[in-house]
């Protein structure tokens, strides 16, 4: 994910994802972790763990549970 893969490799991967549900699921998990970690890095300077309200904690738990 650091650089763009060659076209042939991307095509082979897409074909494989069409038949392998586990690899497709893994790809989705990696994309989710990447998105969340970017979001966390952007927001971590704004709030600390002690500053998170119980409602915000509940929303985070629900969002994580829905995406895992």
What pLDDT does residue 46 have? 61
Number of structural domains the chain divides into: 1
What pLDDT does residue 54 have? 83
CB 30 within 8 A of CB 37: no
Tell me the pLDDT tens digit for each residue of 10-50: 999 889 988 998 998 998 999 999 888 887 766 665 655 56
Q: Which domain, by its residues, includes 53?
A: 7-67
DSSP string, 21-55: HHHHHHHHHHHHHHHHHHHHHHHTTT--GGG--HH
**Does residue 32 lie in a domain region?**
yes
Res. 62: pLDDT tops 70: yes
**Does residue 1 lie in a domain region?**
no
**Does residue 14 lie in a domain region?**
yes
Query: Is pLDDT larger for residue 10 or for residue 53?
Result: 10
**Does residue 2 lie in a domain region?**
no
**Does residue 41 lie in a domain region?**
yes
**Does residue 54 lie in a domain region?**
yes
Query: Is pLDDT larger for residue 59 or for residue 49?
Result: 59
pTM of the model: 0.47
CB 26 within 8 A of CB 32: no
């Amino acid at each position: 994910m650091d650089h763009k893969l060659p076209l042939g490799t991307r095509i082979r991967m897409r074909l494989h994802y069409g038949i392998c549900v586990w690899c497709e699921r893994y790809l989705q998990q990696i994309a989710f972790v990447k998105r969340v970690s970017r979001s966390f890095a952007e927001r971590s300077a704004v709030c600390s763990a002690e500053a998170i309200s119980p409602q915000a904690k509940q929303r985070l738990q629900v969002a994580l549970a829905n995406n895992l």
